[in-house]
Amino acid sequence: MSTVVYKIFDEDAKYYFELHVSKTPELMRENIDAIFKSSRLKKKDFSHTLGMFSPILHLDRKQYGYMFLNEECLVASIVAHECLHAAFAYERFVAKKRTYYGTECGKSEERLAYTFSYIVRSVYTTLYDNNHIKEA
């Protein structure tokens, strides 16, 4: 199997994004191209992309995006980076929040931090449970 797809739901199990895990960066990029084409989005140059989150919305089915990762580049920095994009997409398109975070930690920042933590834990658990990574 070259690419496996998982649904990563929010804490209320209402909204989700699709997590696409490919064997190689090349297969991941082909998968990104296919999703962009099927969503009628302009083709972009993904030749250097090692991971990606795209907030392609299908809110009729409660989907707020796609995350693309590949097994050759499953490092914490890439996974965390894409999870942060997913958390921001959730804030913008599901929670409908457009907040200014200010100079001190407040409710908005805490909400984003909890969303981000939940997404990181969910993605990492999915990767581990399905043998894409070896460490828990």
- C-alpha 96/C-alpha 70 separation (Å) is 30
Q: Give SS3 for 68.
A: strand
The predicted model gives 17-36 an average pLDDT of: 94
Q: Is residue 66 within 8 Å of 6, Cβ to Cβ?
A: no
pLDDT band, residue 136 (cuts 50/70/90):
low
Q: Evaluate whether residue 21 is within a structural domain.
A: yes
What local confidence, expressed as pLDDT, does residue 1 receive?
60
pTM for the model = 0.87
Amino acid at 56: I
- pLDDT, greater one: 102 or 86: 86
**92-105 tens-digit pLDDT:** 888 887 766 666 67
Question: For residue 96, what pLDDT is reported?
Answer: 86
In this structure, the number of other CB atoms found within 10 A of the CB of residue 64 comes to: 20
Q: What is the domain count for the chain? A: 1
Q: Is residue 46 part of a domain?
A: yes
Q: Which domain holds residue 38?
A: 3-129
Task: Look at residue 21 in the predicted model and tell me its pLDDT.
Answer: 97
Does residue 41 lie in a domain region? yes
In a domain, 93, yes or no: yes
Range 10-44 burial, b when 16+ CB lie within 10 A, else e: beeeebbbbbbbbeebebbbebbeebbeeeeeeee
Mean pLDDT value across residues 86-94: 91
**Tens digit of each residue's pLDDT (9 = 90 or more) over 51-85:** 999 998 887 889 999 999 999 999 999 999 999 99
* pLDDT for residue 107: 79
Kindly state whether residue 28 falls inside one of the protein's structural domains: yes
Do the domain assignments include residue 136? no
> Does some domain include residue 57?
yes
Asked, for residue 135, whether it belongs to a domain, the answer is no
Residue ranges in 15-75 assigned as alpha helix (H): 25-38
Can you tell me the distance from the alpha carbon of 25 to that of 27, in angstroms, rounded to the nearest whole number? 6
